[in-house]
Amino acid sequence: MSIDQSTAAKVAKLARIKVEDDALPALASEFNTILGFIEQLNEVDVDGVEPMVSVTPMRLKRRKDEVTDGNQQDKVLANAPDAREGFFAVPKVVE
Protein backbone atom coordinates (compact mmCIF):
# COMPACT_ATOMS: atom_id res chain seq x y z
CA MET A 1 0.00 0.00 0.00
CA SER A 2 1.26 3.41 -0.90
CA ILE A 3 0.04 6.82 0.17
CA ASP A 4 -0.19 9.48 -2.50
CA GLN A 5 -0.59 13.20 -1.95
CA SER A 6 -4.35 13.20 -2.23
CA THR A 7 -4.65 10.46 0.41
CA ALA A 8 -2.34 12.45 2.68
CA ALA A 9 -4.53 15.50 2.17
CA LYS A 10 -7.64 13.48 3.00
CA VAL A 11 -6.15 12.05 6.20
CA ALA A 12 -5.10 15.54 7.26
CA LYS A 13 -8.60 16.82 6.62
CA LEU A 14 -10.23 14.00 8.59
CA ALA A 15 -7.93 14.78 11.50
CA ARG A 16 -8.65 18.50 11.11
CA ILE A 17 -4.98 19.29 10.68
CA LYS A 18 -4.19 22.07 8.27
CA VAL A 19 -1.47 21.08 5.80
CA GLU A 20 -0.30 23.43 3.06
CA ASP A 21 -0.14 21.89 -0.41
CA ASP A 22 3.64 22.18 -0.62
CA ALA A 23 3.99 20.13 2.59
CA LEU A 24 2.00 17.20 1.19
CA PRO A 25 4.77 15.39 -0.72
CA ALA A 26 6.94 15.17 2.40
CA LEU A 27 3.96 14.04 4.48
CA ALA A 28 3.00 11.33 1.97
CA SER A 29 6.56 10.11 1.97
CA GLU A 30 6.63 9.94 5.79
CA PHE A 31 3.41 7.94 5.78
CA ASN A 32 4.96 5.52 3.31
CA THR A 33 7.98 5.04 5.54
CA ILE A 34 5.70 4.25 8.48
CA LEU A 35 3.60 1.85 6.42
CA GLY A 36 6.78 0.24 5.15
CA PHE A 37 7.77 -0.50 8.72
CA ILE A 38 4.32 -1.93 9.43
CA GLU A 39 4.59 -4.14 6.34
CA GLN A 40 7.84 -5.44 7.78
CA LEU A 41 6.03 -6.22 11.06
CA ASN A 42 3.32 -7.97 9.06
CA GLU A 43 5.85 -10.53 7.92
CA VAL A 44 5.91 -12.01 11.42
CA ASP A 45 3.60 -14.99 11.68
CA VAL A 46 1.24 -14.27 14.61
CA ASP A 47 -1.37 -16.89 13.79
CA GLY A 48 -2.96 -18.13 16.99
CA VAL A 49 -1.16 -15.54 19.11
CA GLU A 50 -3.52 -13.50 21.23
CA PRO A 51 -2.89 -9.75 20.91
CA MET A 52 -1.10 -8.41 23.98
CA VAL A 53 -2.95 -5.43 25.39
CA SER A 54 -0.95 -4.94 28.56
CA VAL A 55 2.57 -5.84 29.63
CA THR A 56 1.38 -6.84 33.08
CA PRO A 57 -1.70 -8.98 33.70
CA MET A 58 -4.31 -6.42 34.72
CA ARG A 59 -8.06 -6.40 35.00
CA LEU A 60 -9.96 -3.40 33.62
CA LYS A 61 -10.54 -1.08 36.55
CA ARG A 62 -14.22 -0.51 37.42
CA ARG A 63 -16.09 2.24 39.21
CA LYS A 64 -19.29 2.06 41.22
CA ASP A 65 -22.47 3.61 39.89
CA GLU A 66 -22.22 6.67 42.10
CA VAL A 67 -22.32 10.33 41.21
CA THR A 68 -18.96 11.66 42.34
CA ASP A 69 -18.32 14.40 39.81
CA GLY A 70 -19.92 17.32 37.99
CA ASN A 71 -21.48 20.60 39.16
CA GLN A 72 -18.56 22.59 37.85
CA GLN A 73 -20.05 24.45 34.92
CA ASP A 74 -17.65 27.37 35.40
CA LYS A 75 -14.59 25.13 35.25
CA VAL A 76 -15.90 23.13 32.30
CA LEU A 77 -16.50 26.32 30.35
CA ALA A 78 -13.36 28.12 31.57
CA ASN A 79 -11.30 27.33 28.46
CA ALA A 80 -14.11 27.84 25.97
CA PRO A 81 -13.40 30.64 23.46
CA ASP A 82 -17.07 31.57 23.75
CA ALA A 83 -19.69 30.50 26.27
CA ARG A 84 -23.19 31.88 26.78
CA GLU A 85 -25.84 31.08 29.35
CA GLY A 86 -24.00 27.98 30.44
CA PHE A 87 -23.52 26.62 26.92
CA PHE A 88 -20.45 26.36 24.74
CA ALA A 89 -21.11 28.73 21.85
CA VAL A 90 -19.66 27.53 18.55
CA PRO A 91 -20.02 28.68 14.95
CA LYS A 92 -23.34 27.49 13.59
CA VAL A 93 -23.35 23.82 12.65
CA VAL A 94 -26.56 22.61 11.12
CA GLU A 95 -27.28 19.86 8.65
Partner 1 sequence: MLDLTYEMPKPKTIAGAKHDWELVIGMEVHAQVSSNAKLFSGASTKFGAEPNSNVAFVDAAMPGMLPVINEFCVEQAVRTGLGLKADINLKSAFDRKNYFYPDLPQGYQISQLYHPIVGEGEVLVEMGDGTARMVRIERIHMEQDAGKSIHDMDPHMSFVDLNRTGVCLMEIVSRPDIRGPEEAAAYIAKLRQIMRYLGTCDGNMQNGNLRADVNVSICMPGAYEKYQETQDFSHLGTRCEIKNMNSMRFIQQAIEVEARRQIAIVEAGGKVEQETRLYDPDKGETRSMRSKEEAHDYRYFPDPDLLPLEIEQAWVDDIAAHLPELPDDKKARFISEFGLTDYDASVLTAEVESAAYFEEVAQGRNGKLAANWVINELFGRLKKEDHDITDSPVSPAQLGGIIDLISSDAISGKIAKDLFEIVYTEGGDPAQIVEDRGMKQVTDTGAIEAALDEIIAANPAQVEKAKVNPKLAGWFVGQVMKATGGKANPKAVNDLVSKKLSS
Contact residues toward partner 1 (CB under 8 A) are 13-14, 16, 53-54, 58-73, 75-77, 82, 84-95
Q: Which is nearer to partner 1, 20 or 75 (CB)?
A: 75
Shortest Å, Cβ 44 to partner 1 = 19
Q: Which is nearer to partner 1, 47 or 50 (CB)?
A: 50
Q: Is 8 helix (H, G, I), strand (E, B) or coil?
A: helix
Shortest Å, Cβ 38 to partner 1 = 13
* Angle CA 5–8–10, to nearest 5: 110
* Angle CA 18–12–8, to nearest 5: 125
